[in-house]
Structure 1
Amino acid sequence: MAKLGEVSDTDIRRFADLQTALTKRLDHFAAHGCKVSDHALDVVMFAEANEAELDRILARRLAGETLSEHEVAQFKTAVLVFLGAEYARRGWVQQYHIGALRNNNLRQFKLLGPDVGFDSINDRPMAEELSKLLSKQNEENLLPKTILYCLNPRDNEVLGTMIGNFQGEGMPGKMQFGSGWWFNDQKDGMERQMTQLAQLGLLSRFVGMLTDSRSFLSYTRHEYFRRILCQMIGRWVEAGEAPADINLLGEMVKNICFNNARDYFAIELN
């Protein structure tokens, strides 16, 4: 919070100050071409609070006090709803990566710190809280384009149906069930995600594979993904489950692998 206040030239003491600081940073990133945000929701929380409650929660935390789980949920909810509205006003896409269980090995965490290979899949329920969070953002018609990723493949159908609750508003495929993430970023995980998306939604509107900007080797995912997608569709054709129409299916593959993402993220190409 101190760093945010410093870079935004804002004295953050109340929730309104935090909103001001975040708005300044969003404007900064927008001026440099940013179009996408990403939030790690290891646990999806939802709890509403008024401004006075949010001010009190922020003051307590700035004073070094430990917050209750309910207070954490209230504060996170308010921040996410505020940011979602700001993303919508700017035409940004928000991403939610849901369900990681992090830093499981306490001894190794003390020795090496976070993000060194001791994370795994969480199995905590999230459908009801996620629904409330998205619905709250949608109340004022300020739910931005959103991509939802789950780490637990058990939740594929949850997200595959959740996106159907909030589609529309002039953007085909506004709500996206994101590609297989992390432990699911392999052949079986990709096939399951795309199969369940095809069963529950529109595979043709899918924005496809993504890369990890921290790892240049992750760019090979796109080739791997294209092969898996084409093999999967080919099996459907051989089984009589999709039309043997190379033009129709070829155009769909091109859209999934490039055109949909170009349009979804409003990327201008020379």
Structure 2
Amino acid sequence: MPQPNALPLAPHPDRLLPSEPSRRAVARRLLAHVADLPLVSPHGHIDAGILARDEAFPDPAALLVTPDHYVTRMLYSAGVPLDRLGVRNPDADPREIWRLLCAHWHLFRGTPSRLWLESELHDLFGVREQPSAGNADALYDRITAALAEPELRPRALYHRFNLEVLATTDNPWDDLADHRALADDPSWKGRVAPTFRPDGVTDPERPDIAANLRLLAEASGIDTADYAGYLAALRDRRRHFLAHGASCTDHGVEAAGTAPLEASAAAEIYGKAYRGEPVTAAEGEAFRAHMLFESARMSVEDGLVMQLHPGVRRNHHRAVFEEFGPDTGCDIPVATEYTRALQPLLNAFGREPGFTFVVFTVDETSFSREIAPLAGHYPAMKVGAPWWFLDAPEAILRWRAAVTETAGFYNTAGFVDDTRAFCSIAARHDVARRLDCAYLSGLVAEHRLSEEEAAQTAADLAHTLPKQVFRV
């Protein structure tokens, strides 16, 4: 029963659609055209083992709070310690974690996280009142009981969400045993594809680089003591990923530089990293740029789609990084330059048949000035949709307007959800589809597109383009 003074939780059927009546009517029809299309999730961070084991999610906190750094970073900003939220703390009380979310529910007003959480609570668990300190325990018990039901197991949710493919993100040394287990399971009818993420062995300034290079050697069976062996090991692991269904690589760097080094200079920097010796900031930047160029060369060779998302200062809060590790919500955007930075890579490979290069950014100033013009010229380059900080509704609409005028719709790559929270996938895609329909409805209202063209475009953005671009 609703608690006294509890606010209702009822996502509006017209949420995110235009408020102007005639445009809203068009957007509703466009949304109806795409709402039930299968979901393609080509860029995310879900653990494949969740589906391989298909075990019930243990509790609401483990499902909706702890793995989602969108949620934990907001709570941390209000003074809630990360360890109390279960981050790197298996001894945290899940009921207490849930109480903290409910007591701070007001923090999420107006955020995309609120949209996703409302959809999850309403559609999956039948919750009809907003979380609060007063109803936290009752909601916890209700959701925990629901999680014990077969229809809320991971595989059942995969099919309930109408997922067609789900990509994970994996280190080069991962054995991909969970992916293999899914592929070998005759009862499994979905597709989970690994993604090759080599950042752990391409950044010589990482404190764990020497240990990671030895993991790469162990996984590949190739000695990585010298630069030539290192490149051979990377190629070997890419083949391993391809054999397990991978279609993409993923590269997260702060700067987008792609200038190649002479082999001798690359080998010298690499040798320092392998031996655990310090490298200078200039050497680190030069080697990362060089390895982006070499990664593009490898993608030309083996056909893996190359994803690049620069412009983020990782682990900005040093104390949090030292205590809790990476991916805990303290990555902060920085201004990024693309035109000069990507010129070496695009001049070398930008018209290579079969090469696809998807560039994301969290620097809005570069959308129309650099990203869209580059994608509007080079056949290999596609514009990646906003993610992370830029998946708020207003940011997605700004991005769509900024890139379409130069790159059009068909030099973009469709939506990526980039999530670590399994249950948010469907809600995130719903947000993207609603916003694309809202944008397209404006073109129809202005007689720039027919409604038939807008409907086809909406379907292509939601389903066709991500399948084609990411080769899934």
Q: TM-score range by the shorter chain?
A: 0.7 to 0.9
What is the letter of the counterpart of residue 258 of structure 1? H
| Structure 1 residues 20 and 99: CA distance shift in structure 2, 3 A | same
Larger RCO, structures 1/2 (Cα 8 Å, 6+ apart)? 2
Counterparts in 2 of 1:108-147, with a 5 A limit? 108-138=320-350, 141=352, 144-147=355-358
What is the letter of the counterpart of residue 187 of structure 1? P
SS in 2 for 1:208: coil
| Structure 1 residues 149 and 87: CA distance shift in structure 2, 3 A | same
1:263 pairs with 2:468 = yes
For the Cα contact (< 8 Å) 2:312–2:331, is it kept in 1?
yes
What is the letter of the counterpart of residue 265 of structure 1? F
- Distance in 2, matches of 1:137 and 1:194, equals 26
Of 55, 66, 73, which aligns to 2:278? Answer: 66
Q: Give the aligned partner of residue 151 of structure 1.
A: 362
Counterparts in 2 of 1:151-230, with a 5 A limit? 151-157=362-368, 158-167=370-379, 174-212=380-418, 214-216=420-422, 217-230=424-437
What is the letter of the counterpart of residue 132 of structure 1? P
Shift of 1:199: 0.9
Determine what percentage of the aligned residue pairs are the same residue.
22
Shift of 1:257: 1.1
| Structure 1 residues 92 and 63: CA distance shift in structure 2, 3 A | closer
For the Cα contact (< 8 Å) 1:207–1:257, is it kept in 2?
no
Q: Give the aligned partner of residue 445 of structure 2.
A: 238
Counterparts in 2 of 1:17-28, with a 5 A limit? 17-28=229-240
- Distance in 2, matches of 1:46 and 1:252, equals 33
What is the letter of the counterpart of residue 467 of structure 2? R
For the Cα contact (< 8 Å) 2:252–2:308, is it kept in 1?
yes
SS in 2 for 1:203: coil
Shift of 1:155: 1.6
Shift of 1:124: 4.2
SS in 2 for 1:22: helix
* Number of aligned residues: 258
Shift of 1:138: 4.2
| Structure 1 residues 91 and 196: CA distance shift in structure 2, 3 A | same
Displaced runs of 4 or more, over 4 A: none
TM-superposition CA deviations, 1:53-99 (whole Å, max 9, x none): 22222112222222123322332233222221221222221110110
- Distance in 1, matches of 2:410 and 2:230, equals 40
For the Cα contact (< 8 Å) 2:316–2:330, is it kept in 1?
yes
- Distance in 2, matches of 1:52 and 1:143, equals 30
- Distance in 2, matches of 1:18 and 1:142, equals 27
SS in 2 for 1:79: helix
Q: Give the aligned partner of residue 77 of structure 1.
A: 289
TM norm structure 2: 0.51
For the Cα contact (< 8 Å) 2:249–2:305, is it kept in 1?
yes
Shift of 1:32: 0.9
What is the letter of the counterpart of residue 219 of structure 2? V
SS in 2 for 1:65: coil
What is the letter of the counterpart of residue 98 of structure 1? P
| Structure 1 residues 77 and 104: CA distance shift in structure 2, 3 A | closer
1:253 pairs with 2:458 = yes
Answer with 1 or 2: which has the greater Rg. 2
For the Cα contact (< 8 Å) 2:217–2:233, is it kept in 1?
yes
Q: Give the aligned partner of residue 171 of structure 1.
A: none
Could you tell which deviates more after superposition, 48-57 or 25-34? 48-57
For the Cα contact (< 8 Å) 1:13–1:58, is it kept in 2?
no
TM norm structure 1: 0.87
Shift of 1:162: 1.8
SS in 2 for 1:128: coil
For the Cα contact (< 8 Å) 1:205–1:260, is it kept in 2?
no
1:88 pairs with 2:300 = yes
